[in-house]
Amino acid sequence: MIHSSVIAQPNPDRREDRGPGPRRGERMRPEQREKIEMFKIQFITKNLELSSNEAEGFWPVYEAHKKAIQEIIKTKMNDEILMQEAMLNARKKYKADLLPVLKTEERVNNALRIERDFLYKMRHEVSRRRGWEQE
């Protein structure tokens, strides 16, 4: 006699089980990416309390840093140590480039921390929306 049992489990590939957003391996839709980028700009501007003059200087430096990080990820991904070294060097350059714009070490260090804070908030929100939030 053959006995088998089946236990129902959520399928991670079904969108209704995962909540909104792309499935694993899918790219985010351009409108989703634009919306997140808009929230990031608002979050950074508000938390750094950027004046309009500071914002004019800050965003080009920020965009150059973002492109440098993307290039590092593309080219150094196979060697973890080289990637980490390159990331650290990029962050040091970013810090040096921000100092003339933000004027104080405290504000520069705050700028370095703010994007990490934004990513934390985004992950927390995704977890909350998907019902994964820990009590």
> Is residue 98 scored above 60 in pLDDT?
yes
Residue 24 has pLDDT above 90, yes or no: no
pLDDT band (50, 70, 90) for residue 91: very high
Given a contact cutoff of 8 angstroms between Cβ atoms, the answer to whether 50 and 58 are in contact is yes
pLDDT digits (tens, 9 = 90+) for 45-55: 999 999 999 99
81: helix, strand or coil: helix
What is the average per-residue pLDDT within 115-135? 83
Evaluate the CA torsion angle 109, 44, 114, 76 in order and state its sign: negative
User: CA 38 from chain center: how many Å?
Assistant: 13
* pLDDT of 101 higher than 90: yes
- Burial of residue 33 (number of CB atoms within 10 Å: 0-12, 13-18, 19+): exposed
pLDDT of 17: 47
